[in-house]
Amino acid sequence: MSWLGRFLRSTIGQKFVMALSGLMLVGFVIAHMVGNLQIFIPDGGEALNNYAALLQGNKSLLWVARMGLIGAIGAHIWSAVKLTVSARSARPVRYKKRSWFDEHYAVRTMRVGGLILLAFIIYHLLHFTIGAAHSDVRGCEMIDEVFTCYAYQNVIAGFQGTLGFAIGVFYCVAQIFLGLHLTHGIWSMTRTLGQGNPRFDGVARKAAMGTGVLITVGNCSIPLAVMFGLVG
């Protein structure tokens, strides 16, 4: 067995894969959120549509990014499953006393939240990327030799009406779980990647919580703004 195989079979290796793939996904989530927040620029959606056209107009780069994201998600899920199985095999009988953080936050929220986020990702792709979950989604097209996208109009249509309101609630619930997932995940990632100094543990926890809250609020603000008529 090669050194890479031995490394990936080890708990340390699996934690490293989870941390590295998580870091890639956090970077994408932040960049994706910043791009989407352009919906609040008071220009009738021009900035958001131009941003979408920039992304959709570079098909090769876009597919490389998509394949990288799929790989990161796959690696994250694989490492999570392997670590869960290893933990249960090593400790078939649960400890009688566990901290609130370990028992309620890390275990229940991370695993259940991970499944909810996976469902959200699939629906989000069907909703806006593929357009299979919403009949009003418009794709990009060439108009007078200008590549034009309708991201702003799609977001507005996607969260309006009774169905849109329900979808918006689902999006916000998913973002709350994403924030919780990131809060624990980022803190764990700092420890896995070498920041285990107790002096900085409090700083790492606060930074992780701040990132989780920021992303939750930022992502939830978009459907909420549409649902309550603040944009569109």
pTM for the model: 0.83
**Distances from the Cα of 149 to the Cαs of 64, 83, 152, 167, in angstroms?**
20, 42, 8, 22
The answer to whether 23 touches 189, Cβ cutoff 8 Å, is yes
* Residue 232 located in a structural domain: no
Helical axes 201-227 vs 151-158, angle rounded to 10°: 80
Q: What confidence tens digit (pLDDT) does each residue in 173-228 have?
A: 999 999 988 888 888 877 776 666 677 777 888 888 899 999 999 999 999 999 99
Domain that holds residue 7: 3-91+98-227
Q: What confidence tens digit (pLDDT) does each residue in 118-175 have?
A: 889 888 888 887 777 777 788 888 888 888 999 999 999 999 989 999 999 999 999 9
The answer to whether 167 touches 158, Cβ cutoff 8 Å, is yes
39: tokens are 């919906």
* Helical spans, DSSP H, in 141-160: 151-158
Please count the structural domains in the chain.
1
